[in-house]
Structure 1
């Protein structure tokens, strides 16, 4: 039985990998995710025909989100792929790329005067 995984967790991992491509370790982690994706879906940007290209542009937020959704769907359908994906996540952690379970630490000390302080991993603030 595959451990349960959420779309949020997969999105966090894929987004972290995409955001890390500015480092050598990050490029390797993203490259291994691209390889995993191509093996799973059997196509890539260079393929022709009527098959839509895979969303593999780490700099394009919409493609990163689409990739996470595709991977999540495949994880739910295919236990072997889910195991491969978890292997990728572990490789990413070993390489030093944070792919989940992130923490946020704020320190307010001394004579600091704070009116409002927000602390969190992902915060969306919308106006009226």
Structure 2
């Protein structure tokens, strides 16, 4: 499993305005709330010094730009995955689905509907654009 980095978690927490980001975050929250298991099928409850990740998840959600919160969550997830095999498998499945929601990958643009009568800009993550269109 690729490690879940603090940067990826920060990106995900910052994308909660979009549906994909909200769905990924909700999936992680549900996963973190699962009972902690040490042995196959055996609930072990709270382990001293080992958190479920819920507090770290809440802290990052409250302050999505805080790198320390993101690192704390990444660490909590990694420790829990190392101690709980079922959690590790479920976390990996979640990460495979959530990574596209937090990735800085390619943009996929589509234009349809016939002839365009104005400029079309394709790309990703634009800000501060101004168009000065002349009268015809």
Partner of 2:109 in structure 1?
A: none
Runs of 5+ consecutive residues of structure 2 not aligned to the other structure: 37-44, 47-53, 107-136
Alignment of 1:58-77 (within 5 A): 58-60=61-63, 61=66, 62-77=68-83
Displacement after TM superposition at 1:78 (Å): 2.0
Give the 5 Å matches for 1:45-124.
Answer: 54-55=55-56, 56-57=58-59, 58-60=61-63, 61=66, 62-93=68-99, 96-99=100-103, 102=104
Provide the C-alpha distance between the structure 2 equivalents of 1:59 and 1:40, rounded to a whole number of angstroms.
23
Q: Superposition RMSD on alpha carbons, in Å? A: 3.0
Unaligned runs of 5+ in 1: 44-52, 105-128
3-state SS of 1:22 partner: coil
Task: Give the greater-gyration-radius structure (CA).
Answer: 2
Q: Do 1:10 and 1:72's aligned partners in 2 also have CA atoms closer than 8 Å?
A: no
Counting matched residue pairs gives 87
- Please report the TM-score for the alignment, with normalisation by the length of structure 1: 0.53
Q: CA deviation at 1:77?
A: 1.8
